[in-house]
Amino acid sequence: MSTNRTDALRVAVLASGRGSNLQAVIDAIEAGTVQANLVAVISNKKEAPALERARRHGLACLFVDPKPYAGRPDSREAYDRELLDVLRQHDVELVLLAGYMKIVTRVLVEAFANRMMNIHPSLLPSFPGLDVQKKAIEWGCKLAGCTVHFVTEGVDEGPIILQAAVPILDDDTPDTLAARILEQEHKIYPRAVQLFAEERLQVAGRRVLIKDGKPAGESVISPS
Ligand code: GRF
């Protein structure tokens, strides 16, 4: 789908760890299935493998150290103000949280309202937070999955953009289930970015409508 844009969407990724979702976005951009320019990869962890991945692809990567802010009553907001400066310096239009293990504050949420996405490994609103694959197994769920959503101040609460479901098998461990979910994460996150780049996401209250598209939900209920 064509838009009125003549230049590619400027995207930044915030990541704290492994960076496999970052890699999926990089691969999709390099393959041409996502039309975007990844202008910065930023981490709060100096040794994050995500930064190394970015380096390997010649992308600008930055470590923004949270330590100078530790102990201040407004440490999280002050840190986010520094991030906001960096994002503005790079003219970022869309921010992707990809395994970013810090809760973002109002400072970033307001500056990037409906322009900041997160990927979460559960079918929200079930199981926000951490260790969610283990929680889904222990609850006895038959389906699990992942969710791409816009970021609001409530953790894992923002309007849902895309979801994919996978089965939970009797012999699943949190690790085997996480791997099955991750395969889907790597598909729906780049897809959500491309929908944004095509200006097809329309937020209506809690709902995200996809213009000229198929329904947002997607079920992958076969493990193969
Ligand atoms: C993913 O499972 C994502 O859903 C969650 O954190 C994990 C990050 O993995 N928010 P990676 O760093 O992208 O490999």
The residues that are catalytic are 120
The per-residue DSSP string of 175-200 comes to: HHHHHHHHHHHHHHHHHHHHHHHTT-
Cα 57 to ligand 1 centre (Å): 19
Q: In the prediction, which pLDDT does 214 show?
A: 63
User: In this predicted structure, what is the pLDDT of residue 217?
Assistant: 55
Kindly give the number of the ligand 1 atom that is closest to the alpha carbon of 20.
14
Q: What is the pLDDT of residues 24-69, one digit of tens each?
A: 999 999 999 999 999 999 999 999 999 999 999 999 999 999 999 9
Q: What is the pLDDT of residue 223?
A: 43
d(CA 27, CA 196) in angstroms, rounded, equals: 17
96 sits in which H/E element: strand 94-97
Nearest Cα to Cα of residue 218 among 193, 185, 176, 195:
185
Confidence at 6, pLDDT banded by 50, 70, 90? confident
Q: Atom of ligand 1 at shortest distance to CA of 18?
A: 12
Nearest of 131, 159, 137, 133 to residue 146 by alpha carbon: 133
3-state secondary structure 101-161: CCCCCHHHHHHCCCCEEEEECCCCCCCCCCCHHHHHHHHCCCEEEEEEEECCCCCCCCCEE
Instruction: Please say whether the beta carbons of 172 and 124 come within 8 A.
Output: no
Radius of gyration of the chain (CA): 17
Ligand 1 pocket, Cβ-based, cut-off 6 angstroms: 15, 17-21, 98-99, 119-121, 146, 182, 185
Give the helix/strand (H/E) hosting 51.
Answer: helix 49-56
pLDDT digits (tens, 9 = 90+) for 84-112: 999 999 999 999 999 999 999 999 999 99
Residue type, 42: I
Q: Whose Cα sits closest to atom 9 in ligand 1?
A: 99
pLDDT in tens, 133-164: 999 999 999 999 999 999 999 999 999 999 99
> Ligand 1 atom 1: the closest Cα is on which residue?
99
Q: What is the pLDDT of residues 169-216, one digit of tens each?
A: 999 999 999 999 999 999 999 999 999 999 999 999 999 999 987 655
**For ligand 1, what atom is nearest to the CA of residue 17?**
12
The pTM of the full predicted model, rounded to 2 decimals, is: 0.95
Q: Which of 26, 119, 155 to mutate to test the pocket of ligand 1 (most atoms within 8 A of CB)?
A: 119
Q: Which residue has the tokens 């979801």?
A: 163
Nearest CA to ligand 1 atom 14: 20
Would you say 53 and 34 are in contact if contact means Cβ atoms under 8 Å apart? no
Strand partners, 62: 42
**Alpha carbon nearest to ligand 1 atom 8, residue:** 99
Could you tell me the pLDDT band of residue 5, with boundaries at 50, 70 and 90?
confident
